[in-house]
Amino acid sequence: MKIIVDADACPVIKIVERIAAEKKIELLLVCDTSHMFQPTYGRVITVDKGNDAADFMVIQKGQKSDIVVTQDYGVAAMALGKGMYAIHQSGKWYTNENIDMLLFERHMAKQARKLSKSHMKGPRKRTPEDDERFEQSFLKLLVTIQSQVNS
């Protein structure tokens, strides 16, 4: 098992890096050339800027039972299709049971943005509680995967 982070604009990199180091799990941070990372643990894979270049590299580097950390529902859907696990930076697990609805909601939100002339607010500022929620959910995912692998 390895952890692959869709690292462009990912606010939980340090949390994932610390946990991966503690548990001695291979870690890959995938980003494009507009981002620079110098992790104390793990390896950075940098791809050229381009539409979805980092996303496709995340999927290319993954295999069954790996974990993908991403906020991109499309990346999560591809990861699930390869038998990987996927988790959002909020701590929400992507599953085969919820991914279709998430993709549909994303599509509907995109359609609404096209129709609306008003500016929509971005996401709220991240809090320490958000980081704690992610960490607890991520640790629970690791335990779940390990119990499935050992059974």
pTM equals 0.88
Strand ordering across the sheet containing 2-6: 43-47, 26-32, 2-6, 67-69, 85-87, 93-94
Q: Please check whether residue 61 lies inside any domain of the structure.
A: yes
Q: Which residue has the higher pLDDT, 107 or 32?
A: 32
Q: Please check whether residue 40 lies inside any domain of the structure.
A: yes
Q: Please check whether residue 114 lies inside any domain of the structure.
A: no
Alpha helical stretches, state H, the chain:
13-23, 53-61, 73-81, 99-115, 128-150
Q: Please check whether residue 119 lies inside any domain of the structure.
A: no
Question: Which pLDDT score is estimated for 28?
Answer: 97
**Average pLDDT score over the chain:** 90
Q: Please check whether residue 60 lies inside any domain of the structure.
A: yes
Give the structural domain span for 85: 2-98+127-150
pLDDT of 112 higher than 90: no
**CATH number of the domain that residue 52 is part of:** 3.40.50
Distances, alpha carbon 44 to alpha carbons 63, 72, 104, 108, 111, in Å: 18, 19, 32, 34, 35
Question: Which pLDDT score is estimated for 108?
Answer: 76
Domain count, the chain: 1
pLDDT of 33 higher than 90: no
pLDDT of 121 higher than 70: no
Q: Please check whether residue 115 lies inside any domain of the structure.
A: no
